[in-house]
Amino acid sequence: MRVIAGSARGTPLRALPGTDITRPTLDRVKEGMFSSVQFLVPGARVLDLFAGSGQLGIEALSRGAAHCDFVDASPKAAALVRENCRAAHVEPRAAVTVCDAFAFLQRAAAPYDLVLLDPPFSQGTLARLLPLLGARTAPGGAVLAESELGALLPARAGALVLAKQYRYGKILVTRYQPQDEATSN
């Protein structure tokens, strides 16, 4: 696993062994995700929920995002995110929080331009979490949610509307946007 573009391009990133805590995103999925939001990333405030190794948020920072909040409930994952941020030289623009995603969203103050989600598969987490993200997504922003192919995701989730889906083998990436933004596209 490595950073694929930007200032930290080629930097190897570590992942925790096994898939209990982290499930690294494949390079082709990551490239597709960032191609879909390439004009949104420079200067963006990013939230990487279920950060795992931090690879998605680090990719955003490498591509010019101004700041990324990394959130994971696992202290081991959070420690790994810090280590990977140091390796990629993006640590000054990163904040790592050990916290449940739902609890974090209850207290998160500032809206995010880009929210990156890669929660555990087959647990219905996305459907429960997406309605909370509408109030945390800035106008013109986007939420990119990674899930298993066949996941039942809502067309509307609070203030968010499903804008587009991308299929990468057994992985589905769904883009949500604030309702006003999605209806004007």
Domain ranges in the chain are 30-184
What integer is the mean pLDDT of 48-59? 95
* CATH 3.40.50.150 at 30-184, yes or no: yes
pLDDT at 39: 92
- pLDDT tens for 105-150 read 998 877 999 999 988 877 778 888 999 998 899 999 999 999 888 8
- Reading the block at residue 106, the tokens are 């209850």
- Output the pLDDT for position 153: 87
Closest CA to 112 of 52, 33, 176, 163: 176
The letter for the amino acid at 136 is R
pLDDT at 184 over 60: no
pLDDT digits (tens, 9 = 90+) for 20-46: 545 667 778 888 889 889 999 999 999
For residue 71, the model assigns a pLDDT of 97
